Amino acid sequence: MTAMNVLRGSVAPDNRPLLRKLLGMLAITAERELTCEEAATLLDYYVDLEGRGEDVARLLPELAHHLRICPECEEEHAALAAIVAGELV
C-alpha cells in the first residue's frame, strides 16, 4: 500500500490534509535531524551569521533544514532575528 493509496482509501476525508502534511514532512526528513534542543543552542549563532550577511544555509545546513521543517523553532528564529534587528523592543 502506497502513501497515495492511504490518502485515497481508509483515511477519513477530514484527516487527509494532515496526512498530506505529515507525508510531505517525512519526504524531506534527513538521515540525521537536529532536535529542537540542539537547534536552540545554535540559534543565537545562526542569527548572528544572518545579520552579517553570511550564507547560513551553507554554513549550518542542518539548522537551516530544521528551521524549514519545524514551525516552532522557525517562530523562535523569527522572533530572535526581529529582536536583533531592533524590530521588537
- Rounded Cα distance between 45 and 38, Å, is 12
pTM score of the predicted model: 0.65
Q: What count of other Cβ atoms lies within 10 Å of the Cβ of residue 68?
A: 13
Q: Which residues have C-beta within 8 Å of that of residue 74, sequence separation ≥ 6?
A: 67, 68
37 within 8 A of 72, measured Cβ to Cβ: no
pLDDT grade for 5, boundaries at 50, 70 and 90: low
For the segment 46-89, what is each residue's pLDDT rounded down to a tens digit? 999 999 999 999 999 999 999 998 999 999 999 999 999 887 55
For the segment 13-29, what is each residue's pLDDT rounded down to a tens digit? 677 888 777 776 666 66
45 within 8 A of 78, measured Cβ to Cβ: no
Crossing angle of helices 71-84/61-69, nearest 10°?
A: 110
